Amino acid sequence: MTQPGTFRLALTALVLAALLPLSAPAQVMGGRAPGGNGIKVGNGRLHPTLDLETRLDSGVGYFRDQGTGPLSPDLSGELALHIRPGLMLDVPSQKLALSLRGNLDYVAYTGLLTSGSSAASYLGGLADLALRFDPEGTLSVEIGDQLTRSDRTRQVALGAGILSLYNETRVRAQWKPGGGALELTPALVYAMEFFEPLGGLPAVGCTEAECDPLAASQFNYGNLLVGVEGRWRFLPKTALVADTGLTYRGYFNDTTTPSAALLHAMAGVAGLVSPRITLTAKAGWSQNLGAGGGGTVVAMAEGTYLWGPTLTLKGGYLRAFEPVAAYGTFRDDRIYAEARSLMGSRLALHAAGAVDFLSFAGDRSDTVVSLDLGPEYQFRPWLMGALGYTLTSRSSSLDASGLNYARNEVYARLSATY
């Protein structure tokens, strides 16, 4: 691959795609109200979308200095171009409602900051389809599937420089007997995740498979969840909530990681404490019935405060016990906060942060700090711009650089919806 050619192609596509929506006739651009923009499909509308994003990323992957020299001990930075054509489709119906969200995400690493990084350019994307049978009835059923491909894996034990292909198929039912005071939601969810290296090179100092992108495929897995959630509104604005289920995790290629079978049960309360404050709190126990054993208290407490008509604050604490590659199980103690503000009718601000304390079976422990903040501005009903900054900082009791890094990302995005 020639880096200048890749850069010119991505830059040309970016400029052309930016000009197309701006040159469209004004009469086809309108609000998102029914009968406005989009393409009519039955009772619903299909909305083509296009996101154009420039992202300065300090942690793309591991590459050799100048393309042929020694491997860099740190994550290498790069300027990346994201081109995301997509669509949104909603077809409402009292018998069968359909919802579809999807996009392709071509990620072009320009090679301007790190020689050889353009070889890591990839095609990602997202697709989420949901069919809801009798959505307003006493008993409704949803069948759905979600497929994603990106460089953000759901396996917290693995290091950086990995591409993830994740697919989740779900069946959920919602039963509301007796007028809706009681709600029961049983669910059956099966997920698979497959890994491949992004940069093609292991991190310096890596002696374990979980920090080596070349070995990540051994942790490909299947995950089955059978569970039920319940809610009983014993007061107009307060409800008792319960959540129980069994999660089984098995690995397709790994013979060393023990399979996990986690049984969990939680109960608590959710409701309005005041007209401005909403609180949800529940606690319980999760037990691994698999060969690795182990169990712990699990809990969640979350509060939302409506500061005013334009500012919402949310924060909480979560303790989870989940299956994970290489170790079998891990515990996550998470503290998080989020703020969203609407400044006038067009400008919105958001800020979110979290700290995760991860404890794996054995003696490994990690700390992950994440931050996401920035403004969004609606130039037209069909055109929105966004600026932002994200931080992911990870430190581990293991010494490998693939598990100890800080990833800073600054992005500018333009989103058009027809």
CB-based burial label for 253 (10 Å; 0-12, 13-18, 19+): exposed
81-90: pLDDT as tens digits: 999 999 999 9
Cβ–Cβ under 8 Å, residues 346 and 362: no
Cβ–Cβ under 8 Å, residues 133 and 96: yes
What's the N-to-C CA distance of the chain in angstroms? 35
Beta bridge partners of 414: 52, 385
CB-based burial label for 84 (10 Å; 0-12, 13-18, 19+): buried
- The domain locations on the chain are 3-219+364-417
Least Cα distance to 74 among 63, 85, 83 occurs for 63
Q: Which helix (H) or strand (E) holds 14?
A: helix 3-22
Cβ–Cβ under 8 Å, residues 210 and 325: yes
347-384: pLDDT as tens digits: 999 999 999 999 998 889 999 999 999 999 999 989 99
CB-based burial label for 163 (10 Å; 0-12, 13-18, 19+): buried
Task: List the pLDDT tens digit at each of the 418 positions of the chain.
Answer: 333 333 333 333 333 333 333 333 333 333 333 334 889 888 899 999 999 999 999 888 777 665 555 556 677 888 999 999 999 999 999 999 999 999 999 999 998 888 878 888 999 999 999 999 999 899 999 999 999 999 888 899 988 788 999 999 999 999 998 778 999 999 999 999 999 988 656 666 677 788 788 888 999 999 999 999 999 999 989 999 999 999 999 999 888 888 999 999 999 999 999 999 999 999 999 999 998 889 999 999 999 999 988 999 999 999 999 999 999 999 999 999 999 999 988 999 999 999 999 999 888 999 999 999 999 999 998 999 999 999 999 999 988 777 888 999 999 999 999 9
Question: Vertex 274, ends 271 and 280: CA angle to 5°?
Answer: 30
What span, in angstroms and rounded, lies between the C-alpha atoms of 132 and 135?
6
Report the amino acid identity of residue 230: G
Local structure of 219: helix, strand or coil: helix
